[in-house]
Amino acid sequence: MYLEFFGISDKPFQITPDTRFLYLTPRHRDGLAHLLYGADEAGGFILLTGEVGTGKTMLCRSVLEQMPEHVNVALILNPRQSSKELIASMCDELNIPYRRSSTSLKYLVDRLNLYLLKQHAQGKRTVLVIDEAQNLRAEVLEQIRLLTNLEVATQKLLQIILIGQPELQAILARPELRQLTQRITARFHLTPLSKDETASYIRHRLQIVGFRGELFSSGAVGMVHQLSGGVPRLVNNICERSMMGAYGENVHRIDKKLVRKAAGEVLQPTERFQPMQWVAGGAIAAGTAALLLSIWGLLPSASQESFANSEATTISSESLASQAVIENKPITLNNEDAVKEVVARASPVVNKPRSVEIAEPVVSQQPKFNQAQSNAKQSNESFLKLINDSNLRTDNSKAFTTMFSYWGLSYPDLKGETACERATTAELRCIFGKAGWDEIRRHNRPAVLEIINTAGKRKQIVVLALQGNQVSLNIGGKVVTTAIESVDPYWYGNYLLLWRPPPAGSNVLKEGIIGKDDGWLRDQLDRIEGKTVSTDVKKELSFDPTLKWRVMEFQRIRGLNVDGVAGRETMIEINSAVNDRSTPLLWRQSS
C-alpha cells in the first residue's frame, strides 16, 4: 500500500523469516558459524537459544540455505509430537520409505539407522534440526538422545541441532536429562540488539528494498530501540506501523512522535516500554528488553495491586533481612547488635557452609566461604531444591525487599511505583539489563537475578556474595552457597542492582564542569590516596586538569577505561574503594 509512496520494491519490515533481510550482529554471526560448523562435525547436540523474536528461526533458515551438498537435513518445525511421530516425521523429511501402517517405534528407528549407514558409506552426513524445541516432551528428548547412539566405529551418524527459547536450557538441566546434556558440544544464546545495532538493522532492511536516505530520525530510532528493547520482531512491528502512519499522514520522515503512536497500536501493554517511568525512577542502563521489564515488574500496571496492599507484606520469618525490616532494625554493616539478634532467632538456612575467614563480611547474613568445598554436589542439590520449591516466595517484591534491606532500607515503606522509583527516593540509582558474572563481580553490589527453574518458572533471587567461583544466594529467604556453574543453566543474564551516586546526583563528572559533586570527587580520591581530607564537599568546585589526571590514575589502577571522566562505572568503583561501611559489597579487599 505504501511501497510507491516510499519508492521501494517490497515491505522492509515483514516478520516472515526471509533470509534476504538477515542482519548479522557479531552474536548472530557467531551463532551462524556455530551451526554451520556443527552441522559438518561428528555427532552430538548443538543448542541455540534466544528470547522470543531475537532471530532464531531466521538464523536457522540461513543455515539450511548454506548447508554443504553432502549434508542431508531433516527439519522439524512442530515438535509437539510423540516419539513415534517424531521419528516418522524424520523419515518423511529424509524421504525414507516405511510402512505407514506400522505401529512399532523399533521398526522406524531401524529404517532410519539403515538410511544413516547408507549415507555414511557414501560420505554424506545427516543433520536433524528441531525448531521450537522447548515444546519437546521429556520422553521425546530422551528418544532423541538415543538416536545419537546410532553410530559406526569412528563416529556418530546423526548430528542434532536444538533451537528454542531460554526455557529449553532449564528443561535440559533436569536430572533425568543429564545424559543428553552431557552430549551437548556447543551452546549459543542470542540476545537483543544494542541501540547502535538497532539503527544499523533498520537501515539494512530499508536498503534491501531499495530505500536511500534516512527515513527514521535519530530520535525515532532511539525511540524504536527503547520501545522494542532491541528485539528484532518488535522492531519490525513498530517500524512497519510507523511507515503506514507516515503514509497516512503524507510525510516522508518518521519522528519520535510517530514511532510512539505506532508502538501504542501494535504492542501489548506488557510489551510496551515507558521511558517516562524510567526518568522518574532514576538512571537505568539503556537497551533493556521491553518484554523483560514487565516480567520484572518494573513497569507499573493498573491491574496490579500495590506491594503494600498485597500478600507481599506478609514476610517469612525465615528471612533474616526481611525480619530485620519488619522490626524496624534495618540490617547495615554498622548495626552488628541488630544483626546478631536477628540471626539468633532466625530459622537455619539451607546448606549453610562452614565458616572460614575471608575479608570483612559483606552483608549481615552473608555466609563465609569454605574454600575446601567439602560437598559441591550437596550444595548444588540444595540450590536446585530451593529454586524448585513452590512454597518459597521468589517474586519481584520479595527479592527487592531483600536487596533493599542490605542498604538499610525498607522496600515497602519507600514511595514509588517501581523498584527504581523507590531507589531514587532513597538517593540510590538502579542498573538493569543483561550481564555475566564478570559484570556482577565488577559492580560488586548485591543484585537481583532472574532465573528460570527446571519447571520453566521465572524466579527472582538475590546475590549476596561472590568469591572465586562460589556464589552465595538468598532464595526466598533461604541462603545457599554453590558454584556459579550450578546457576548458569538457569540464569540468562537479567539482573538489577543499586548503587549510590554523588550527593548532588551527578551522572557524569568531567573536565570543565563546575558543581558540588566535584568536591565530593576530590574528597573520595583523597580518602583512597590516604591524604588528609580537606575538601569542602558542599562547595562548588571546578573539574580541572589536575582532577582529571587523578581520575585517570584511579581508572588505570582499577582496570577501568582510562578517559578521565567519572561516569557511572568509575563512581561505583570509587564507592567500593573508599570502603564505606554503609555500602553493601559482594566482597571487600583486605586493608
Per the confidence metrics, is the pTM higher than 0.85? Answer: no
* Highest mean predicted confidence (pLDDT) among 256-270, 360-374, 552-566: 552-566
Question: pLDDT at position 40, please?
Answer: 66
Q: Taking residues 141-149, report their average pLDDT.
A: 87
Q: How far apart are CA 562 and CA 259, in angstroms?
A: 37
Q: Say how far apart CA 147 and CA 128 lie, in whole Å.
A: 10
Highest mean pLDDT of the ranges 335-349, 415-429, 502-516: 415-429
Does the 294-499 domain belong in CATH 3.90.70.10?
Answer: yes
Confidence of residue 43 (pLDDT cuts 50, 70, 90): low
State the average pLDDT over residues 28-33. Answer: 80
3-state class (DSSP) for residue 91: helix
* Closest to 407 measured CA to CA, from 321, 472, 475: 321
Return the domain boundaries, the chain. Answer: 26-190, 193-282, 294-499, 514-578
Those residues whose C-beta lies under 8 Å from the C-beta of residue 407, and which sit 6 or more positions away, are: 332, 426, 428, 498, 584
pLDDT of residue 50 exceeding 60, the answer is yes
- CATH number of the domain located at residue range(s) 26-190 in this protein: 3.40.50.300
Average of pLDDT values for 247-254?
90
pLDDT at 323: 27
* Residue 136 to residue 171: CA distance in whole angstroms: 9
Portion of the chain with pLDDT greater than 70, in percent = 78
Could you report the per-residue pLDDT of 318-338, keeping only the tens digit for each? 232 232 232 233 333 333 333
Residue 308 has pLDDT above 70, yes or no: no
- Residues whose CB is less than 8 angstroms from the CB of residue 424 and which lie 6 or more positions away in sequence, other chains included: 280, 281, 282, 416
User: Residue 339: pLDDT above 60?
Assistant: no
Determine the Cα–Cα distance for residues 472 and 580; give it in Å rounded to an integer: 22
What confidence score (pLDDT) does residue 311 get?
30
**pLDDT tops 70 at residue 71:** yes
Please tell me the distance from the alpha carbon of residue 55 to that of residue 35, in angstroms, as a whole number. Answer: 14
pLDDT in tens, 482-522: 998 889 888 878 889 999 988 887 878 888 877 778 888 88
Query: Which alpha helices (DSSP H) does 250-335 contain, by range?
Result: 256-266, 275-281, 290-296, 320-326
Q: Give the pLDDT band (50/70/90) at residue 403.
A: very high
Mean pLDDT of 116-121: 90
What is the Cα–Cα distance from 268 to 437, expressed in whole angstroms? 32
What superfamily in CATH does domain 514-578 come from?
PGBD-like superfamily/PGBD (1.10.101.10)
Q: Please report, to the nearest 10 degrees, the dihedral formed by the alpha carbons of residues 365, 390, 471, 193 taken in order.
A: -130
Q: Is the pLDDT of residue 578 over 60?
A: yes
Share above pLDDT 90 across residues of the chain, in percent, rounded to a whole number: 22
pLDDT confidence bin for 538, thresholds 50/70/90: low
Indicate the CATH number of 193-282 among 3.40.50.720, 2.40.50.140, 3.40.640.10, 1.10.8.60: 1.10.8.60
Confidence class of residue 202 from pLDDT cuts 50, 70 and 90?
very high
**Residue 303 scores a pLDDT above 70:** no
Predicted confidence band of residue 556 (pLDDT cuts 50, 70, 90) = confident
Minimum mean pLDDT among 11-15, 95-99, 121-125, 502-506: which range?
502-506
Q: Residues near 16 by Cβ (< 8 Å), separated by ≥ 6?
A: none
C-alpha torsion angle, residues 308, 314, 318, 324 (rounded to 10) = 40
Give the best-scoring range by mean pLDDT among 51-65, 179-193, 224-238, 372-386. Answer: 224-238
> How high is the mean pLDDT of the chain?
77
Distance CA 170, CA 452 (A): 6
Residue 134, Cβ neighbours under 10 Å: how many? 18
Collapsing DSSP to helix, strand or coil, 480 comes out as strand
Q: Which three cell numbers stand for residue 394?
A: 521468589
Rounded CA-CA distance 30/574 in Å is: 36
Residue 147 in this model has a pLDDT that exceeds 80: yes
**Residue 124 near residue 69 (C-beta atoms within 8 A):** no
Which residue is it, cell 529404517?
111
Which range (46-50, 82-86, 341-345, 512-516) has the least confidence?
341-345
For the segment 135-148, the average pLDDT, to the nearest whole number, is: 88
pLDDT attached to residue 199:
93
**Mean pLDDT, residues 53-68:** 85
d(CA 245, CA 251): 9
Please state the three-class secondary structure of 214-270 as a single string. Answer: CCECHHHHHHHHHHHCCCHHHHHHHHHHHHHHHHHHCCCCECHHHHHHHHHHHCCHH
For the ranges 170-184, 299-313, 440-454, which has the lowest average pLDDT?
299-313
In this predicted structure, which of 36-50, 72-86, 377-391 has the lowest mean pLDDT? 36-50
Cα–Cα distance, 215 to 255 (Å, whole number):
9
What residues form DSSP beta bridges with 467?
470
So what's the pLDDT on residue 431? 85
**Highest mean pLDDT range out of 28-42, 45-59, 179-193, 458-472?**
458-472
